[in-house]
Amino acid sequence: MVEDNASTPSFARWWRQVLFVPLLHSKWLTTDSKARLTEAVTRAERGHRGEVFLIVENHLPIQEAYRMNCRERAIDLFSEYRVWDTEENTGVLIYVNVCERKLEIVADRGISAHVSPTVWNAMCEKAVSGIATQKTEESLAELLDEVGQVLRQYYHLDHDPEGNELSDTVVFLK
């Protein structure tokens, strides 16, 4: 299935990024919450050959915000952090944009062959609903668990001899 990821230029999106004050919106992402989310990534990766990668970003890069939406940014980061470069093409990027209140899941072709975009979209919507009720960390931890369950369903493995291909550490882009 081919998705049209091209966004339309938007001055409104650009202004939201310019006027965004990270200090007011990113208080939830403490050192402890990053550590707990990193542990949630580690748990999500147990029992399968997939790789889960979590990126939280305050806002889109100002120079890109006029012409780039969150989906395009997620795809760029999927490439930049080499989530696509796993042995069995089973990398999954979870991208959270705090300013836009958006969450995107980008799955590599190995897992996309098994899981429809509607499943990923439903997971995103559920997490965004939790984030809207100020339960950001809990919602992301639950989403990570759900992604891990999906990966175990298609790439189950009792013992993972290859180990971890990508870091489990949460990436926070200010």
- pLDDT tens for 70-98 read 999 999 999 999 999 988 899 999 999 99
Whether the CB-CB separation of 60 and 161 falls below 8 Å is answered with: no
* Residue 103 confidence (pLDDT): 96
Q: Mean pLDDT throughout 120-132?
A: 95
Secondary structure class of 156 (helix, strand, coil): strand
* Residue 164 confidence (pLDDT): 81
End-to-end CA distance of the chain: 33
Most confident by average pLDDT, 5-14, 74-83, 129-138: 74-83
Burial class of residue 31 in the structure, from the number of CB atoms within 10 Å of its CB (0-12 exposed, 13-18 middle, 19+ buried): exposed
Is the pLDDT at 162 greater than 60? The verdict is no
Is the pLDDT at 25 greater than 70? The verdict is no
Whether the CB-CB separation of 78 and 84 falls below 8 Å is answered with: yes
Is the pLDDT at 57 greater than 90? The verdict is yes
Residue 93, phi then psi, degrees to nearest 5: -100, 130
Is the pLDDT at 69 greater than 60? The verdict is yes
* Residue 119 confidence (pLDDT): 96
**Dist. CA 140–CA 130, nearest whole Å:** 8
Is the pLDDT at 158 greater than 90? The verdict is no
Is the pLDDT at 138 greater than 90? The verdict is yes
**Dist. CA 124–CA 140, nearest whole Å:** 10
